[in-house]
């Protein structure tokens, strides 16, 4: 029976790093669902048509990790028709054998509300801005402004806002090393698997 791990949280909280580590640890497939929205956002044109025609190869673009792609993703993710076009892709991915780890903003609340494990990964704004600045070679001040703008947009959208699922385990990575954060996530999954 497939085992699904849903990981949600704001940008640069550590959810992607944790998701990749869990996928390796348990031999599960991994999907960074933000890449779907980034791929739609950077292609330009009608975002609904782009989302409906999206294929796995579109997720391999080198420019999907840029700050610009992140901003574009946040904007197209607020379009209900774009979200609807990508839901089936994500749900199908989530139920593959032996399991899957999906990270994003609405995995535990909308995409996989019945996931066997749900984590909501957070970190304070300053920590996230410093992480993103180091990753992109940008200024911390610019990243702080972008992160706050994006968080506000992601939390305020009408469709699938970024919120913690009621049954999600909260994991604050503000003062944790990567190894410590991953260890806490692994422990949560092992407890759920018995």
16 marked among binding-site residues: yes
13 marked among binding-site residues: yes
41 marked among binding-site residues: no
Taking only Cα atoms into account, the Rg of the chain, rounded to an integer number of angstroms, comes to: 16
**Alpha-carbon distance 175 to 35, whole Å?**
27
Residue written as tokens 């869990």?
A: 22
12 marked among binding-site residues: yes
**Angle of helix 140-156 relative to helix 125-136, nearest 10 degrees?**
120
80 marked among binding-site residues: no
100 marked among binding-site residues: no
9 marked among binding-site residues: yes
Strand segments (E) across the chain: 3-8, 29-32, 99-104, 117-122, 169-172
- 100: helix, strand or coil: strand
Binding site for ATP: residue ranges? 9-17
Binding site: residue ranges? 9-17
């Amino acid at each position: 029976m497939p085992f699904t791990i849903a990981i949600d949280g704001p940008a640069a909280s550590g959810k992607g790093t944790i998701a990749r580590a869990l996928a390796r640890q348990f031999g599960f497939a991994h999907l960074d669902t933000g890449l779907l929205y980034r791929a739609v956002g950077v292609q330009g044109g009608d975002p609904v048509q782009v989302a409906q025609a999206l294929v796995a190869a579109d997720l391999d673009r080198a420019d999907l990790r840029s700050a610009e792609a992140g901003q574009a993703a946040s904007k197209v993710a607020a379009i209900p028709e774009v979200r609807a076009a990508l839901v089936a892709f994500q749900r199908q991915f989530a139920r593959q054998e032996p399991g899957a780890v999906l990270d994003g903003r609405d995995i535990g609340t909308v995409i996989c509300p019945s996931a066997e494990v749900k984590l909501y990964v957070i970190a304070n704004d300053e920590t996230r801005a410093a992480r993103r600045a180091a990753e992109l070679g940008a200024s911390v001040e610019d990243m702080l402004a972008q992160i706050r703008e994006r968080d506000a947009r992601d939390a305020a959208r009408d469709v699938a806002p970024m919120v913690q699922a009621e049954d999600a385990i909260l994991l604050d990575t503000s003062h944790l090393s990567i190894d410590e954060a991953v260890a806490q996530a692994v422990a949560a999954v092992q407890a759920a698997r018995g």
